[in-house]
Amino acid sequence: MNIKAVILDLDNTLMDFGHLKANSIRGAITGMIEAGMNIDEEKAFKEIMAIYKAKGWEYQKVLDEFIVSHEGFLDYQYLAAGITHYRKAREAQLKPYPTVFSTLISLIKRGIKLAVVSDAPAREAWLRLYQLNLHRLFDVVVTFDDTGVTKPSPDPFRLALKKLGLSPQDVMMVGDWPERDMAGARQMGIRSIFARYGDLFDTVHSGADYEICRFDEILKIIEKIESAYD
């Protein structure tokens, strides 16, 4: 049996989003302090992370909400300083995990199609792919805006399969979040690979068919599957 496509999550699978986000937030806090905002760095970090936890990682008004909670109004000097430093820190940290680019090229050379299924909005997902210089490598990109639902709903996977023109048994899913990536793939009958290197939750049992500690281990798994059917 040949694997005809690999579906990949984006954040914490292709790139270290957790580390990126933390460093970007700390950059924003440094900017606001330098602009004159009287806040404690560690307390501010915990407060901003709490806002993200409540509103989601893609919440665009997190600094606005944080500033208003401290100042009683939206101070645009602090906001501008925070956004500017956030973006600088993000750009400095935004890079794929080791071996991602070379592994994706190896998969393409094998004739395997590549897809992204991400819960991020389309704008943010495409920005990350362009900034990572991975945008030309994917045949299909499915984001939250394409279906209006997040994983583990089967809808994003179903749409990816439709665009790929393939059946569940032809593809594999690689992701870092068992309750979303693995569960969603399982509902569709898609075999899954847990990206343990991107795990933020100290997962014990991923529920995946396979697990990897490095991105390039995908190649060994595919070789193992295909050799079993030779």
pLDDT of 229 reads 65
Residue type present at position 115:
A
The per-residue pLDDT of the chain, averaged, comes to 95
pLDDT of 59 reads 87
Residues 6 or more apart in contact with residue 130 via CB below 8 angstroms = none
Do the beta carbons of residue 116 and residue 142 sit within 8 Å? yes
Helix (H) or strand (E) holding 225: helix 217-227
d(CA 100, CA 163): 23
Distances (CA, A) of 16 to 66, 83, 109, 160: 25, 20, 25, 23
Model pLDDT for residues 41-94, shown as the tens digit of each residue: 999 999 999 999 888 888 889 999 999 999 999 999 999 999 999 999 998 888
d(CA 45, CA 17): 16
φ, ψ for residue 122, nearest 5 deg: -55, -45
Model pLDDT for residues 171-226, shown as the tens digit of each residue: 999 999 999 999 999 999 999 999 999 998 899 999 999 999 999 999 999 999 98
State the first-to-last Cα distance of the chain, in angstroms, to the nearest integer: 8
Q: What is the DSSP string of 40-109?
A: -HHHHHHHHHHHHHHH-TT-TTHHHHHHHHHHSS--HHHHHHHHHHHHHHHHHH--BPTTHHHHHHHHHH
Given the structure tokens 């914490």, which residue do they identify?
A: 12
With a cut of 90, say whether residue 227 has pLDDT above it.
no
Buried b / exposed e along 194-225 (16+ C-beta atoms within 10 A): bbebbbeeebeebebbbbbeebebbbebbeeb
Residues listed for the chain: 230
* Model confidence band, residue 101 (pLDDT cutoffs 50, 70, 90): very high
pLDDT of 57 reads 82
pLDDT of 70 reads 98
Model pLDDT for residues 105-134, shown as the tens digit of each residue: 999 999 999 999 999 999 999 999 999 999
With a cut of 70, say whether residue 230 has pLDDT above it.
no
Model pLDDT for residues 139-174, shown as the tens digit of each residue: 999 999 999 999 999 999 999 999 999 999 999 999
Question: What is the pTM (predicted TM-score) of this model?
Answer: 0.86
d(CA 47, CA 52): 9
